Structure 1
Amino acid sequence: MKIELIDGLPLILPFGMNQHCIKFIARHIEAMMQVDTVDGTPLFRLKQVPLDTPQVQKVEGCNFYFTFLSDRSDILKDSYAVDPESIFGVSGGFEYPWIFEKNGIEKILDSDQMYENKTPCAFTLLSLDIPGDDEIVFYSIIGNTSSKEKLKNFKSYIVKKGIIEEKREENRRIIREIEDNIATVSSDKNFDSYCAQTFLDNVLRGGLPVVFKTQGSKSIFYLYSRKHGDLERDYNHFVLEQTYLSQGNSHFRDVNQNRRNDVWFNPLVGDSNIITFFNLIQTDGFNPLVVNGLTYTAEDVPALEEWLGKIVKNPESFSDLLEMVKKPFTPGEFIMKIEETGSGISNYDEIVAAMLSFCKENDVGEPHEGYWIDHWTYNMDLIDNFLMVFPDRLREILVDKYVYTFYDNPDIVMPRSRKYVLVDGTVRQYGAVIRDRDKINLINSRKEYPCRVRTEYGEGKIYLTNLLVKILSIITNKISSLDPEGIGIEMEADKPGWYDPLNGMPGLMASSICETLELIRTCSFLSDAISTIKMNGDESVSLFEDLYIFIIDLMEVIEERLNSVDENRAFVFWDESHRIKEEYREKTRLGVSGKDVKVKISTVKDFLNKSIRLLDSIFSEIPRDKLFHKNGVCYTYFLNEVKRKEISSTGSGSPLVTPLEFKQKPISLFLEGPVHLLKVKKESASGIYRSVKNSGIYDEKLRMYKTSESIEREPFEIGRARAYPPGWIENESVYLHMEYKFLLELLKAGLYDEYYEEIKNTMMPFLNPETYGRSILENSSFIVSSAFPDSKLHGRGFQPRLTGASAELLNMWIIMVAGEHPFFVDGVVGLKLRLEPVLPGGFFTEREEVYLTYDGEGRTVEVTVPANCFAFKFLGKTVVVYHNDERKDTFGEDRAGIASYILKYADGATCESQGEVLDTPLANDVREGRVERIDAFLH
């Protein structure tokens, strides 16, 4: 059979383009485009760097395109079309190759193509004679290179027989190995595959931790992490390194949540994420938005120089590498530079680990205008999940480690006197955050760790403390950020909380009960933790002087508030606590004093107890109708309208005002409030669940949970959510992340029957694919609810699968397969392990299953799972098989519980243990990955 064909890209962007070129000067920039032909294949680039500056630079790199037949070792030459007009004619739509149909490939290749001044295409043109029972396979390679020499070497490598196939299989294997961390064998293959896909998606946003064991320590490095970069999420600017060990930029909330469960799947992660994200917390309780990829800088330069000289012999290459590591660099950059030396080194993992032994990790935060009020709460989730695996290390992480610093951000929150303004007769909160020039200059003057708070109010040494003090600083800032009614935490810094499209709410002086509930949780955690580690009242903790004064002054006004019967006591507390907070923030604007005050634990406990009493009084003193709708659902957000005021100053801008009286009004019901209420009111979980299901939050048609009931009655000024049609994006849609948060809290609250009933309609693998409109193995940002005007789209999933919902699913999976607290500490004996799965009988296999997993060395292992079983990977290493002959639920009155275990070690040894608990030696063996398989027998 004779055939002519064209295959390729109707458009290819030349190397050197940036977003500005693509979006704003797409036609103008064509004048700089050029296609070169080297060795018969096209290279695409701009002629020079598109900058309007005196220093003109040539573009050195290029994008490339070439094709080769699978049965040949040479690349096709002079077989390419780069001028779209030669294929499609003058039409710019690329719908149909008119010229190809009319003329065939010979005339196209003989034609005069334009090699500049237009956006090129990249097509391969082939004339083939294929025997009737045969096939011809060809590969087209599209990519980028920094030099023609690199491209030449790459071409000679890629055409070798079998290389493409090997790389394709390597890619599949990498994906399978990543997904193997959450290997699941149940009776539902869709569920098993969905868990694997969700883990992979979580890695693509949060990253995959790789542990480099350096001399006497370790460095946790995240591969792949970046903002969600799906094409549907078109407003996100995300970056991926063009190197090995690639990583990208992200946002605090996103990457924090997506790394929440990493310590479970890889215990070697330890407390690294706790340290990273708590070190991004500032003295004012806020944090920078941007979290960049991790970079390193040489710390012990002489030792590194000596080590480097042993592996790089070329003097010029040695000098280049040494200069590179004296500035921030990534391991991927370093290895690619090593490759350029032609030294033939291949043991990259060992090289990186050795090199990092001489380096320090640089800070990852980057400022951005405004502060979200919810970000700090995700740090507490990191602690919770760490303690699921390491409950015996509570004292170590809370008290013993003095590795915590405060992030120094040039953006500061204005006091009330400078942000409450009169606009068209109403009081608004505008310009709440400014970039402080003094701080910018101070930070820029520092050579090392510029964004770490110093003593001597910015002029001294980096201030170091422990986790207990950092949590205390957060609590103190948040207690003094309650709204004038004492209910919600104020949106005091230009940004809302989790629900981003309420972007107008900070201007309306709004507040949120979600963070108040998280504050209750945090105070309770710290109080309980101090008791758990048996810190007696005479022990002390060192507080920096400024925080000590803040706490002591705040304790006094909390006490006054608790003892007061004045009907204005909430407003008085608001005014006084904010005054104290503003004095503290002004004092610590450039740094802390550096003087430490020894504070007795009894004083810390007293502060926490007073704070808890104050927060508990919200539910005991405040009229119920201020907190709950008549249907029983708690309110989430509140508007705080100024009813009386004084004009404090009039300048060139809007008049500044001092509020004298507020009137609070809740807005429509949101799912977010009940989610957080479930965390601290587990005893009321059943009632909270029923009230939500009986409210307008529940979508009866889809049997799913929306972000909110209708918000049509709310003012347009609350934010862009009001501009979205109902049922779309965050406006009354089924926003998967928040719905999954709700499901997770049902599970944590012990509502197991309700949970499994709900996931039939709310969890992706159980949905109808035709209604969902995409693979049920993938998440979506949101599902169009029945509130949307176009009923044809009801139940359809939209926008990227790289959503925070993946973190919630992983958290649910952990509890489902192992329980919420599998490891625990017996005060007498020590660490113990008790697996407590929460699985319905229907999840256990109906027949024998065989699946492939990977051992610690990356070798494939075949695992047989008998009928009436459920299998999964525990802590990313150990295969656990539950044997449940009667296929009974593992929860409820007639539950099946674990009666015995058989442990198989990596060396082939076995051990049997009776009862539901594994004692200390065995628990340690499991946690440290020495146990290859656990068979748990349920009765």
Structure 2
Amino acid sequence: MSDYRLENNEFIIENYDSKAPFTSFLPGLTGEDGIPLWSFYVNRGQCLTSFGIEKKENPIMEFQPAVIAYENTSLKGFRTFIRKNDEYFEPFSVNYDAKVKRTMRIKANSFRIIETDYTHNFKTEITYFILPHEPFGALVRNVTFTNLGEEADFEILDGMSRIIPYGIPGTKFTTMANLMRSYNTVSNLKNDVPLFFSRIESDDAAEMKENVGGYYYMCFDNNGTICPIYDPCALFENETSLQFPINFIMHGLKFVAGYSQHFTNKISCAFAPVAKKLSTNQNYTLSTLCGFAHNEDFINRLIPHILDKEYINKKLVEADQLALKYTNDIATTTGNPILDEYFRQSYLDNFLRGGYPIVVSGSNDDKVLHLFSRKHGDPERDYNQFSTAAEFYSQGDGNFRDVLQNRRCDIIFHPEINEFDIRQFYSLVQIDGYTPMYVKACTFSVIKKHKEDVYKFLDDTVLHGKSKIISALEDRFTAGSLANVILSNNISITISIDEFLHRILDFCQQNYESSTEKVGNYIDQWDYLLDMILCYQRIYPEKIEDLIFKSKVYKYFDSDQTVKPRNEKYFFDGKKARQLDAFYVNTKKYELGYKAEDTNWLKTSSGEIYYTNLIEKLIAIIVNKIALLDPCQMGIEMEANRAGWNDACNGLPSLFGSGMSENFEVARTCHFVKDVLTKYSNHTITVPEELFELYAKVNDSIATCSSGFELWDALATARETYRDKTCYSISGQTVAMDIPDFIHSLDIYINLLSDGVIKAMQLGDGLCPTYFRYVATDYEIIKENPNGYPNIKVNAFQPQKVVDFLEGPAKQIRNCTNPSEASHILDQVKASELYDKKLKMYKTSAPTITEGLEFGRIAVFTPGWQENESIFLHMEYKFLFSLIESGIYERFYEELTNVFVPFCNPEIYGRSILENCSFIVSSANPDETLHGRNFVSRLSGSNSEVLYIWTDMFLGKHPFIYKDNRLGLSLRPKLCGDLFDQNNRITYNFLSTNKVILHNPFRKNTWNAQIEKIIIDGEEYFGDTVWGDDAIKVRDKRNSVIDIYYQ
């Protein structure tokens, strides 16, 4: 039997601590009415390596980078010390014993580890999960000890080696723990549930502030609470390495429990002392909850509730059910159970980065909340901060591109969100076509006309504490922060908190929140915007006209970052021309009322926020991107300090770099807008006069300038003038655009972009390049800078192709309209250095060492590691998706079994093959033992690509169609016959709740099979499409089972 296997919904790893190290985390799914904590684990020791509240800076157990966590978890994580009839041993210790068997069993929202020690005839089983459906957050650790030998007396110490007091930031603890221990305080000992906190805030400020709240540590068994040992000297005395609890080993539990403890000037521990006589096969269970409490009274009130004998078991069931509840949206049953569970896990990890959408219905309008999201920071991504709000309806922040990528399929699973995602993300597009860096949790604010309604509602529902709620409602708030006001102040209300929040939100407007980071603008932040519209079109094809033209609710995000003109960012560095320091923070905006802590929107000269419709936003994107074409009109310029998703190419913008992938994205957008305008040509389109002027200049430049440098110079001048005019505001005056004229302009843009592809292919020797760099072959100094490089004016550029990357061909195949062309490109890629013949996978790049250090840190990474020649999973999956999207289904399935993680050998992959990663080490790496091994776990863009692949596989491109004023249900799965189970069936959920059953008696590939009939809840329809009201019922989720029969 393999050491890695799937049993029911648990992935099992035998002898986990002897396998290649990996990191993972508990997702913290606690429900709408729960408080999440973050927690990470590794396959070493007792696994839990760090956990805390809200963000990395609030650790309860110290956050550690993966490479350190692998070393330290066995010592500084959870520990268990046991004396059996005075013989000492430590379960899960690093000491090797051939008679000890260890197993890890991983579920989606919990995991457990089991040690069976045949030397000491003892079994220890530990379960971890985050407490669901409670107004307080907690990591739950449930330990069951079983005596497998003869009756014996057992003394047990179980707990944490170190607990960081609340109020000590993680970075300060890491760098100044010696000072920080001076503030340590422990209270509430008389109630056996100690509260650990710093007496003061740790800032070195003139005004000292006391901390409010603390981290509680509650241990209990069937007899009640057990006060933990909090002084590490009681166990370890002077054994500061923490390897051995010397007092316990030498003197036993009674000595340790009677030790005169002190918490002052120490880093506390938390160990529950237990003495038990256990007969043969008798077990004993110790439970621990650890989290944040606002004060002693708050946690003390909860003690009787927690001590219910079935409490922990009930909560574990609830935690596991939550994971099933949310991932049932994509519940899939094929002939491959691992693949089925993989889809669930990918769906889970996708919404952990993008958020799980829930609709709060109201009489005024609906609100959409995206729950459980967080930025992808973890022990392997130790460079990233992350935030998970410790409140009901918990939401987090994320990078614009990442959240957009992960939410683009929302509408496929949750049609009830309607236009929300599109409105949010397109509103955050700036007037210059760029986007902010971050998307933050949405907030709410009471609408002025509803203030009296709110006061009346509070009079009717709040028994006391109304003033605190009114105070909270005076500013922007989240649903969870309002719930925290009620809970932390023990405010009494006459209805449930859930209903109270829903009623309040109905009187509010929802605010999109975002912020910038002082790093410049990425070239590809906007790439997934069109996908969001196309997914909407798959579900609501009859509403596209209204979506594009009628909803005048879109705004323009206003950034404090301004891209410099060329004469301020082109330099001569003593050796060559470079593009450096390409943006600046425009402090003049602050003088005009810009607020860094707020989300700022573009205003007219009269001070009003400017609103528009989606067609204008699309036009703004297209025109701005055409104005950004590089000096050969092949790719889009990296003119704002940043490359794209591949951050490791960080030097490329300084080399006048450009990206070919964005050519294909602009072309897709042009084709879409052209199709829409051709179909709905009866509308009037208006745009701001400044945008129309840019549009006119772009067209005039294309018409009058020769291609190449002259056209580039004219386009760049036009965009710089446009940015000057729109930097602080716009006039508010609009100009009507002639639709036939604009369609003609789109044709010109499409041809220009197509010509760019031809040039690029010639430069790439037949394989589409992804990046270019440009060498300035003629330039002149225009300004000397005493403290820096002189500014220059470039008069000529020479393009240079960068080594091959996978992204260019992936985007090219997706844009193919001819399957044979797509197949040809696939053959070319397989014959190139992008294909790893050993692993039968696709590398992100060819060798980059020839590009030199100036290209970016990618050239410094070892081949096969990080972004350099590795199998970067989200890009490989993007390439895989392009195969099914372009219609080469047979070839898609040939590649699927080689590159999809659930088909990997877990011994080589090195973790559960239900979980994705950022990259797999390719065979280019000099260390052969790493070939095929995964690194940087789970929260990658690969999850989103899996969902995109799933939609094409199980739904087809157009699950709903609109023809002759009728809606049609037209599911066209693209499934190979081998995927069907032994009963020749495949089952999956459509729109989250409609169960689809495919019946394929001859196991045909469904793209070659004909649908004979469809039965919906017993109603039979012949043919392959269901029309009219019956299709609407399916979309409205008023049906339950859809049976599709193939001939």
TMscore range, shorter length: over 0.9
Deviation at 1:484, TM superposition (A): 0.8
Residue 869 of structure 1: aligned partner: 985
Residue 422 of structure 1: aligned partner: 572
Residue 648 of structure 1: aligned partner: 782
Describe the superposition over 1:187-239 as per-residue Cα deviations: whole angstroms up to 9, x where unpaired: 00000111111111112111100100122310010100111133222111111
How does 1:755-794 map onto structure 2 within 5 Å? 755-794=892-931
Deviation at 1:669, TM superposition (A): 0.3
Q: Which of 1012, 1031, 1036 pairs up with 1:928?
A: 1036
Matched, 1:636 2:636: no
Deviation at 1:132, TM superposition (A): 2.9
Deviation at 1:921, TM superposition (A): 1.5
Q: Which of 52, 56, 61 pairs up with 2:204?
A: 52
Query: Structure 1 pair 23/345, CA: closer, same or farther in 2 (3 Å)?
Result: farther
Residue 557 of structure 1: aligned partner: 701
Deviation at 1:724, TM superposition (A): 1.2
Q: Tell me, which stretches of 5 or more residues in structure 2 are unaligned?
A: 1-151
- The alignment partner of 1:288 has SS state of coil
How does 1:403-552 map onto structure 2 within 5 Å? 403-444=553-594, 451-456=600-605, 459-532=606-679, 534-536=680-682, 539-552=683-696
Residue 902 of structure 1: aligned partner: 1015
Deviation at 1:19, TM superposition (A): 3.0
C-alpha separation in 2, matches of 1:675 and 1:42? 56
Matched, 1:886 2:1002: yes
Query: TM-score scaled to structure 2, two decimals?
Result: 0.83
Residue 286 of structure 2: aligned partner: 138
Matched, 1:832 2:968: yes
Deviation at 1:112, TM superposition (A): 2.7
1:460 partner amino acid: G
Residue 808 of structure 1: aligned partner: 945
Residue 269 of structure 1: aligned partner: 417
Matched, 1:402 2:552: yes
C-alpha separation in 1, matches of 2:240 and 2:898? 45
C-alpha separation in 1, matches of 2:733 and 2:193? 68
Contact 1:228/1:800 (<8 A) preserved = no
Contact 1:551/1:607 (<8 A) preserved = no
Residue 800 of structure 2: aligned partner: 665
How does 1:702-851 map onto structure 2 within 5 Å? 702-826=839-963, 828-846=964-982
Query: Structure 1 pair 59/446, CA: closer, same or farther in 2 (3 Å)?
Result: closer
Bigger Cα displacement from structure 2, 740-749 vs 114-123: 114-123
Residue 105 of structure 2: aligned partner: none
2:995 partner amino acid: V
Deviation at 1:623, TM superposition (A): 7.4
Residue 356 of structure 1: aligned partner: 505
Describe the superposition over 1:882-907 as per-residue Cα deviations: whole angstroms up to 9, x where unpaired: 0111111112xxx2221101111xxx
Residue 728 of structure 2: aligned partner: 590
Q: Which of 344, 358, 364 pairs up with 1:210?
A: 358
C-alpha separation in 1, matches of 2:596 and 2:437? 22
2:513 partner amino acid: V
Contact 2:634/2:757 (<8 A) preserved = no
Deviation at 1:715, TM superposition (A): 1.3
Bigger Cα displacement from structure 2, 359-368 vs 662-671: 359-368
C-alpha separation in 2, matches of 1:560 and 1:915? 55
Deviation at 1:97, TM superposition (A): 2.5
Query: Structure 1 pair 445/493, CA: closer, same or farther in 2 (3 Å)?
Result: closer
How does 1:290-369 map onto structure 2 within 5 Å? 290-299=438-447, 300-314=450-464, 317-339=465-487, 340-343=489-492, 345=494, 347-369=496-518
Bigger Cα displacement from structure 2, 130-139 vs 148-157: 130-139
Contact 2:661/2:770 (<8 A) preserved = yes
Residue 385 of structure 1: aligned partner: 535
C-alpha separation in 2, matches of 1:450 and 1:890? 48
Matched, 1:117 2:251: no
Bigger Cα displacement from structure 2, 698-707 vs 232-241: 232-241
C-alpha separation in 1, matches of 2:595 and 2:396? 27
Deviation at 1:85, TM superposition (A): 3.1
1:59 partner amino acid: N
Describe the superposition over 1:784-824 as per-residue Cα deviations: whole angstroms up to 9, x where unpaired: 11111110011011112111100100111111111011111
Describe the superposition over 1:837-882 as per-residue Cα deviations: whole angstroms up to 9, x where unpaired: 1111111110xxxxxxxxxxxxxxxxxxxx1110000010100000
Describe the superposition over 1:293-347 as per-residue Cα deviations: whole angstroms up to 9, x where unpaired: 1111122322212212211132xx1111011011121101212323334425553
Describe the superposition over 1:527-547 as per-residue Cα deviations: whole angstroms up to 9, x where unpaired: 011123x314xx421111100
C-alpha separation in 2, matches of 1:40 and 1:331? 33
Describe the superposition over 1:53-110 as per-residue Cα deviations: whole angstroms up to 9, x where unpaired: 12111112111112111x23x2124xx2222233234333323333321111111122
Query: TM-score scaled to structure 1, two decimals?
Result: 0.93
Deviation at 1:913, TM superposition (A): 0.4
Contact 1:245/1:332 (<8 A) preserved = yes
Matched, 1:43 2:195: yes
Contact 1:5/1:125 (<8 A) preserved = yes
Contact 2:461/2:493 (<8 A) preserved = no
Describe the superposition over 1:564-610 as per-residue Cα deviations: whole angstroms up to 9, x where unpaired: 4xxxx310000011111100000000011100112221222122122
- The alignment partner of 1:230 has SS state of coil
Residue 576 of structure 1: aligned partner: 714
Contact 1:521/1:679 (<8 A) preserved = no
What is the number of residues matched between the two proteins? Answer: 888
C-alpha separation in 1, matches of 2:485 and 2:284? 38
C-alpha separation in 1, matches of 2:483 and 2:991? 30
Residue 103 of structure 1: aligned partner: 251
- The alignment partner of 1:471 has SS state of helix
C-alpha separation in 2, matches of 1:167 and 1:344? 26
Matched, 1:2 2:153: yes
Deviation at 1:507, TM superposition (A): 1.1
Contact 1:230/1:802 (<8 A) preserved = no
Deviation at 1:362, TM superposition (A): 2.0
Matched, 1:607 2:753: no
Identity of aligned residues (%): 34
How well do the aligned residues superpose, as a CA RMSD in angstroms? 1.6
Residue 434 of structure 2: aligned partner: 286
- The alignment partner of 1:294 has SS state of strand
1:179 partner amino acid: T
1:930 partner amino acid: R
Bigger Cα displacement from structure 2, 22-31 vs 682-691: 22-31
How does 1:63-102 map onto structure 2 within 5 Å? 63-69=215-221, 71-72=222-223, 74-77=224-227, 80-102=228-250
C-alpha separation in 1, matches of 2:631 and 2:178? 55
Residue 393 of structure 2: aligned partner: 245
C-alpha separation in 2, matches of 1:321 and 1:343? 11
Query: Structure 1 pair 450/200, CA: closer, same or farther in 2 (3 Å)?
Result: closer
Query: Structure 1 pair 89/758, CA: closer, same or farther in 2 (3 Å)?
Result: farther
2:849 partner amino acid: E
C-alpha separation in 1, matches of 2:922 and 2:441? 36
Residue 26 of structure 1: aligned partner: 177
